Amino acid sequence: MLVVDDEPTIAASVAARLRAEGFIVDVAHDGPGALDRVAADPPDLIVLDVMLPGLDGLEVCRRIHAERPIPIIMLTARDEETDKLVGLAVGADDYLTKPFSIRELAARVHALFRRIDRIADAAAAPAARIVLGDLEIDPAQRRVRRGGTPAHLTPTEFDLLTELAAHPRQVLAREALLARVWGWSVATSGTRTVDSHVKALRRKLGADLIRTVHGVGYALEAGGEPA
């Protein structure tokens, strides 16, 4: 794993906890250094701060994903929805707002690795193609089209959409989505993570696709019956 943060205390604390969890961890403190380490020895997962010298975390994430799909958890100092949506748009799989719990970060790392394993299992035995009105989801190739137009989704966005599409028009609670898509326990905080990913899906696929049920969760409202 690679931890990238320009605050040495935070980087050291995160690296120490992840090493205690059994991971091999490298550390970088700026954007160019992070890219150099990824090029030399691509990690299995990156914990990436947004505010970095040299190149910010968003640009680092964008450049990494232009070369290879490495799972990324972003750390942001601001709890603003726009910042999180931009991070998700450039390929981040998850995010935490500073100050954050090291224990929760470790839990999210484990959950992300479990999700990666599920994706690998699904690729070995892919589910049937899903068609709901003008929405088409191909689990084997992990591709999505709406109205014939391809949509470029992050791995997390794809998994969230597939979960919603597996239960069309059924309202799924945020906590249930966290458990099924992210692999988090109900006790883990982070329902706003679901909200941010839903906003990203609406931006890419249309605002009418997913209905919000206030205080509960979301339902996929694509027209037509499953094919």
For 157-210, what is each residue's pLDDT tens digit?
A: 898 999 999 999 999 999 899 888 887 764 455 667 888 889 889 999 999 999
N residues, the chain: 227
pLDDT (0 to 100) of residue 81: 62
The per-residue pLDDT for range 45-98, each reduced to its tens digit, is 999 999 999 999 999 998 998 888 788 999 987 666 666 666 676 778 888 888
Q: What is the per-residue pLDDT across 137-167, written as a single tens digit (0 to 9) for each?
A: 998 888 999 999 999 888 788 989 999 999 9
pLDDT single digits (tens) 4-36:
999 999 999 999 999 999 999 999 999 999 999
What pLDDT is stored for residue 57 in this prediction? 92
78 CB-near residues (< 8 Å, 6+ apart): 97
